Amino acid sequence: MSRKMQLADGETSRTACARAVLRTGVDEKTGELLTAAVLTERVGWAADLVSGMVAGLLNEHWNAADVDVLAAGVDADGRNLPSNAWMALRRLGWTVTPPEGVKVNDRIARMAQEQAGRTLRSAKWRADVTAGVIKTWPCDPRKRTPDEWGAVREAVPGGEHLPSNIVKARTRQVAAFERKYHQLPIGLFELEAEPRIARMLLLSACDSQQASIERGDEPGRALLRLQLPTRPDPASYKDWTWVACPVRLSPTVPASAVLHLPTLRIRAGKVHADMAFTHAVPKTRRTGRTIALGVDWGLNTLLSAGAARLHDDGRITALGAGASFRSAGVLAKQHRLRREGQHLHTKAAQYERLIAGDNGHALTGKHQALADEIRKVSNRRSNLNDALAWAAARWAVDQAIAAGATVIYIEDLRSMEAKGMGRTHNTRLSQQVRGQIADRMRHLAAETGIAVVTVPAAHTSKHCPQCLRPLRHRKAPDRRTTPGWKWAICPNLDCRWQGDRDQGAWRRIAARGLTHQTKTVLDRDSGTYIVRKIVEKLETRAAIHTAPVTSPVDRSKTSPTRPHSTRPAPRRRRAPSPTRPQGPAGKRPEGHAHTARQPLPRAAHRDQRVTTISTPTSRHRPRGAALGAGFHLHAHASPPRWLEPAPDTTSCVGSLN
């Protein structure tokens, strides 16, 4: 099968990944049908051989000198090293050897070298950051001065644009080492031990002599062929046989996509395959955008989004009232699981102190049971975060598609720290999955040619979206004298804008992105579009314009009021219902009109303990979430209103004036 893709004008190739499960296989030598358990066992034997060779290679080269040599990109003769990790390691002479008495082919060694080379290359960036932090160690590690911040950013390669939370995390790691050993570490390789080796098979480092993949006769089917050992310690090439594994492709894999060799992992007794594929997508543009979607982050209201239009004369107007994605129920459930996990970790630590390394202790069984429960709670938290990230990202991209936007602007909150808002609030804010949402948003937006650009977050919620003056934040619209943060009021009498803080923020984000299009750059490290700095001249034009307020229509009374009956509408029907037809179908029988809400699912009426959430204290109470009714009742999205705004967009009317 050809690995080249034909691209049309305005298209570009994009490589993505989809999950699949290998449930069975056929041994081509004997014709035996392999069950899922046997297939998992044979893949596990191959993964153990590869991970053992990777561990030996890392043990030999896990040092600063060898990592620097690999990261330099040239060999001893001055030639550039290949981009493939296994080829670069062979050029440097770093070989792997299988265990004594075990026979493996050269492709198995390739997979081991590829995995080890990727691990060593990824350690270079962490080593440079750690070296810069140690070199400019501050007087007080808990709080750096402005001069100390400038020094550490100069010492780290690319430190000018490095998020401050990365520097702080490395500082805490070095400080913990200093408290334990009473001295600073020499570098990353003294601070961190060798990384754990994952049990996986990187088939992308192989060729057709070890593995091949091709599409099946039916749509959505593929056939993966690979060599697997028939015993855990193969002594000769006769102990390796070809196994054909049918694969059911995910619906997200297009029929025209080019398939690549996957990566095999063993998880929960099953063989999971990360199916890589390349397909054509519309090419995104860096400039020339007229409609943009601004997305603001929040806590209970996780996302607030709305569209803005850039006109030919430079004016920016908002398209509609925007929408919001609320996840109070999901975050409350996540908070409950986090507290449960902390409680289990505390008990497990106490058992470890009592056991003190004695395998025959009476508490060993209970400690193992706690470890299993901790793993289950952690998996539930990961699955919940993954579901929330996909749901929020899909919602944001759908808003952009509905509004006809070609770009999504989001805040750069990588350096944001949760502090000053209470212990519980700070913890919940720091546990949000903003990074996962942004990554999945870029993944989904690329399918339709929509670019995702990160803009600076300075003053997006602090300044008015219409006049750019500092706002006054209050508790609620009907509590204008109570300090708070949710409701924003512009003190400028000529503007008089007021509204929800998050609704004003997405207007500021969209307007800032549209005016800073020429300052959008492609970050080489992450491969994402980003606006690094705010230009004051462009920022003065990043204001939402509204139509002038016109005089209201004359509604003076010119005729008598039409009489209305004071008697309310009857609750029961006056006319009898029609005859009920035979069978369960038919019209509703006569009686009271049912106006109650639909009953909650059955899961909401049973005690799920750890799966339940704490009772919300805010005004919004997720229906059914307190009793575990399911993810669809935990997350709520308001319907979008993509209409042209009314002439009078100010909210200060009536009793709020």
pLDDT tens-place string over residues 126-184: 999 999 999 999 999 888 898 999 999 999 988 887 888 889 889 999 999 999 999 99
The predicted model gives 350-379 an average pLDDT of 90
CB atoms within 10 A of CB 378: 15
pTM (2 decimals)? Answer: 0.78
Backbone angles phi, psi at 316, to 5 degrees: -125, 125
pLDDT score for 657:
29
pLDDT class for 651, splitting at 50, 70, 90? very low
Least confidently predicted of 237-241, 366-370, 460-464, 474-478: 474-478
The predicted model gives 248-259 an average pLDDT of 91
The predicted model gives 329-349 an average pLDDT of 89
pLDDT score for 618:
55
pLDDT score for 480:
75
520: three-class secondary structure by DSSP: strand
CA–CA gap between residue 81 and residue 75 (Å, rounded): 6
Tokens of 112: 């081991």
CA–CA gap between residue 391 and residue 387 (Å, rounded): 6
pLDDT score for 592:
54
* pLDDT above 50: residue 505: yes
Percent of the chain at pLDDT exceeding 70: 81
CA–CA gap between residue 229 and residue 106 (Å, rounded): 14
Helices (H), 474-566: 501-515, 536-539
pLDDT tens-place string over residues 512-534: 999 999 999 988 777 889 998 89
pLDDT score for 458:
85
The predicted model gives 34-56 an average pLDDT of 94
Least confidently predicted of 15-24, 303-312, 498-507, 546-555: 546-555
CA–CA gap between residue 239 and residue 130 (Å, rounded): 46
pLDDT score for 581:
55
* pLDDT above 60: residue 292: yes
pLDDT score for 123:
93
* pLDDT above 60: residue 28: yes
pLDDT tens-place string over residues 391-412: 999 999 999 999 999 999 998 8
Identify whether the C-beta of residue 448 lies closer than 8 Å to the C-beta of residue 401: yes
* pLDDT above 50: residue 610: no
579: three-class secondary structure by DSSP: coil
pLDDT score for 129:
93
* pLDDT above 60: residue 639: yes
CA–CA gap between residue 246 and residue 609 (Å, rounded): 41
The predicted model gives 372-393 an average pLDDT of 92
Calculate Rg over the CA atoms of the chain: 31
**CA 211 → CA 89, 243, 395, 620, distances in Å?**
22, 9, 39, 54
pLDDT score for 553:
67
Q: Which residue has the higher pLDDT, 557 or 534?
A: 534
pLDDT tens-place string over residues 612-626: 444 555 555 555 444
Average pLDDT, the chain: 83
Q: What distance lies between CA 116 and its chain's CA centroid?
A: 26
pLDDT score for 412:
84
pLDDT class for 124, splitting at 50, 70, 90? very high
Provide the 8-state DSSP code for 463.
B
pLDDT class for 2, splitting at 50, 70, 90? very low
CA–CA gap between residue 613 and residue 329 (Å, rounded): 7
